[in-house]
A and B are shown apart, each in its own frame.
Chain A
Amino acid sequence: MNYRLAALALLCPAVAAHAEAGKVHEHVFSNGLKLLVKEDHRSPVVVSQVWYKVGSSYEPGGITGISHMLEHMMFKGTAKYPVGEFSRIIAENGGNENAFTGQDYTAYFQTLEKSRLEISFKLESDRMRNLDLKAEELKKELEVVTEERRMRTDDQPRAKVHEQFMATAFTNSPYQNPVIGWPSDIANYKVEDLQAWYQQWYAPNNATLVVVGDVDAQQVEKLAEQYFAPLQPSVLKPVKPQDESEQRGVRRITVKAPAKLPYLMMGYKVPVLKTAKPEWEAYALEVLAGVLDGGDSARLSSRLVRGKQIAVSAGAGYDFTSRLPDVFLLEATPAEGKTVFDLEYALLDEVYQLKNELIAKDELQRIKAQVLASAVYQKDSNFYQAMQLGTLETVGIGWQKADEYVDKVNQVTAEQVREVARKYLIEDTLTVAYLEPQPITQAAKPAKAIGGHHAF
């Protein structure tokens, strides 16, 4: 059976064909806007996403989080469509919409019934150049973002650990800053800061328009031509490289927070697809992540959670499509009676084995089967397909890499996995963070009944 699976892609041509990324129609307008269209006729719907090449990793000190703040302000109106109109129009057309900001991108999306794509283009093209930033709207929205930060980070012990971990692991790379920004920076944004950020990055020549769904690519191009082609491009200044300075020696931090369980986060500096030389190293690291955490049969679950029962949960993470070199993350929660130090030792032992023994054939085959299957499952969602194209394009890898993914993972050997483990999972570039729980003193006050019709 295992032998069969090694050649899964060859023996199941129908499956392999479906795992291919599919035909993408690309067009670059004269103002620099790149359009990517992928037809998927399974349902009469369409997703439209506008991706800007800007995110927290573009931000200098003092205004961290401004990309995310601007994302919020993008819903505050233009001269043509004043505050609230954008969302109202999308809603009355049955659309879902939102936006997200990451380290390397800011993206806006609408999902609509297929005949209504034009509405999205009309509105997105308008706010690409005509945002009307108002100080009084910023004042309110700044409070919203502060609440968002409290909810996502300040009141979440593990999110705090992650934030401090990144700030420790990176010294010059902008990945040291949280996407949502440091509190003091958030509190001090001025409308001029937002205006400058908008002017600098929101332009057709810094954007990619991705459309996936039950559409005709030629018609989408015509529609995009009508709405986006007239927009003026900007002169884009290249972003400073901010190369990470070399780490020589392990870094350890402790984070105290009200919590019930201790928690451990570890990470090694690694290249990503965009920066790996040779390129296969990134695919080998991707496989390595699968060896450790590609499901319930992977090593962290089978050895640490079940075998040694040293962890109640354990995971590994590698963000293959980052724009800049990143960290290979390991994180775990100790089982009752075990400490974060026991866990650290156990994780280091797993790393030691990856460096000294070749991974088993069936592990490698299992990962390849999963990658092939996932490539099919992912096509269940237009949104995911658009995300994939938009991410690859926006970080500068190029959407075409989506097509190569299954093949490139298939070419990874056990020797290559050992080689990247030896080269990158080294103590000199390791950062370790421990969550040290502080007591939560909670006292429920007895439920107080309020009878009758009380005033609201």
Chain B
Amino acid sequence: MHFNLIGLALLLLSQTVWSAAKIENWQTPQGSRVYYVRTAGLPMVDVRVVFDAGSARDEAQFGVAALTSALLDSGAGELSADDIAQRFESVGANYSAGVSEDMAWLAVRTLTEKALFDKALATFETVLSKPAFNQADFEREKARTLAGLKHREESPGELAGIAFNKALYGDHPYAHPETGVVETVAGFSADDLKNFYQKYYVAANAMVVIVGDVSREQAEQTANQLLSKLPVGSKPAEIPAVTMPSKASKQHIEFPSTQTHVLVGLPGTYRKDPDYFALYVGNHILGGGSMVSRLFEEVREKRGLAYGAYSVFAPMYRQGPFMMSLQTRNDQTEQALDVLLKTFNEFLEKGPSDKELTAAKQNITGGFAMRFDTNSKLTDYVAMIGFYQQPLDYLDTFQSNIEAVSIEQIKDAFKRRVKPELLQTVTVGAGK
């Protein structure tokens, strides 16, 4: 039972070192940025490698970024898909990979015990630097993706999301779904993936996040080991600016469902937006607070029109969507949409009250510590800070940035940025 003493010592240590996360940052010899946070207390580490290689890099091949990402662990170096899975899982490591509009990432969570860590990391390095894109693996994963795209068509919510992004972004690379569409994915060859990988999975376009119980020295070694096998390459051009829709639109997609999914919005805010905090706090009051917000109150609490009624700004490299959403019984769609728009317009015209603003600030700052109270959440934050090159003290200044927001700033930011005459509306359900 002397193990308990080990645990106790570590716990005491972690108590003394806690503060808003201390992020260390440096570059590998190949020029990749590394972000590292030491968290003690548990013998585990999260390692994530992020590339500017999300679906916004698909060009005409919608879905190529996602399928490239999905293929990485299906054969690499001398290892088959089975070998790779066995090597990770035999040491209890969890591998994952994925894409968003802006990013492609590979991640591994592993224990820090040396033999286990070394095996997990060596496998991760192989997957990262030597994916094979074998024909047989490619055919299988492509077929699985195509099945996934068909499955998506069973969901009115998913269909609404696709139509909504198309309405917001037109020809911009944010317009298409990350996993692509049947028409494009069906035409891919293994070479398309290989080309995408060679162009974007390069050191100059990579960053590494390491969060866990490893020393700075171990973190440096880890980053070097992972990235030294990648060619240096170059950074891709910036993602083009978003053009706002020129006028409002309303689109209905007929679907045999009991509910209609309603989405309303337009391109919203981006990561380095000077209006970001004003929009964030304002939206918290409008529809961002999970159980206390105007939309939740008006749509659900007062009228029982929906289970969920929310609004969200999803900041990206360029303006990500601002979206208000609800789902309601088909025959009350218009009523619910009216309530949603009325609530939105009133907020836009009058802004929040003093009381609402104070409550929102109290909620956001009072819950600050919960934003990064696990290694998982902290890894997400550090990846965001690193990828979008936010200041390293982003977390330290977060609360004062929230506190500084005024009612006037919120009203002003919403008026300039969320123009009602440009709102895009999509409904999916059984209309007639």
Residues of A within 8 A of B (CB): 1-2, 4-5, 8, 12-18, 20, 22-23, 41-45, 75, 84, 87-88, 91-98, 111-113, 116, 139-148, 150-151, 154-157, 258-261, 294-298, 301-302, 305-306, 309, 312-313, 333, 335-336, 362, 365-366, 369-374, 376-377, 379-382, 440-454, 456
Contact = CB atoms under 8 A, between A and B. Distances in A.
A452 B255 contact: no
B247 A98 contact: no
A306 B82 CA distance: 9
25 contacts: A5-B91, A18-B43, A20-B3, A41-B11, A41-B41, A92-B359, A94-B365, A111-B367, A140-B303, A140-B304, A260-B151, A260-B153, A261-B151, A295-B88, A296-B85, A366-B90, A370-B92, A373-B91, A376-B44, A377-B44, A380-B44, A440-B255, A440-B256, A449-B247, A451-B248
Q: Which among A17, A147, A312 has the highest number of chain B CB atoms within 10 Å?
A: A147
Contacts of B393: none
Given A91-B291, A442-B255, A259 B363 contact: no
Interface of B: 3-4, 6-7, 11, 14-15, 18, 39, 41-44, 73, 81-82, 84-86, 88-95, 109-111, 113, 115-116, 119, 140, 143-144, 146-148, 150-151, 153-156, 159, 163, 167, 247-259, 289-292, 297, 300-308, 327-329, 338, 341-342, 344-345, 359, 362-370, 372-376, 420-421
Given A96-B370, A261-B150, A382-B373, A377 B91 contact: no
A344 B354 CA distance: 61
A367 B24 CA distance: 35
Contacts of B153: 260, 440, 442
Contact of A440 (B154, B292, B342, B366): B154
A84 B301 contact: yes
Contact of B368 (A94, A302, A445): A94
Q: Which among B86, B111, B363 has the highest number of chain A CB atoms within 10 Å?
A: B111
Contact of A42 (B6, B14, B84, B359): B14
Contact of A17 (B7, B41, B91): B7
B327 to A, nearest CB: 5
Contacts of B94: 373, 377
B247 A450 contact: yes
A92 to B, nearest CB: 5
B329 A147 contact: yes
A144 B248 contact: no
Given A151-B307, A297-B86, A381-B376, A93 B251 contact: no
A441 B18 CA distance: 56
Contact of A379 (B42, B304, B362, B420): B42
A17 B254 CA distance: 57
A82 B22 CA distance: 42
A297 B85 contact: yes
B89 A42 contact: no
Nearest to B256: A258
A17 B154 contact: no
Contacts of B92: 369-374
B7 A18 contact: yes
Contact of B290 (A98, A302, A444, A452): A98
A445 B420 contact: no
A43 to B, nearest CB: 4
Contact of A362 (B90, B254, B257, B366): B90
B372 to A, nearest CB: 8
B154 A260 contact: yes
Closest 7 CB pairs of A and B: A94-B366, A373-B92, A17-B3, A143-B304, A297-B85, A94-B367, A140-B304
Contact of A148 (B81, B89, B247, B307): B307
B83 to A, nearest CB: 9
Contacts of A154: 257-259
B366 A444 contact: no
A373 B111 contact: yes
Contacts of B342: 456
Contacts of A156: 155
Nearest to B255: A442
Contacts of B3: 13-14, 16-17, 20
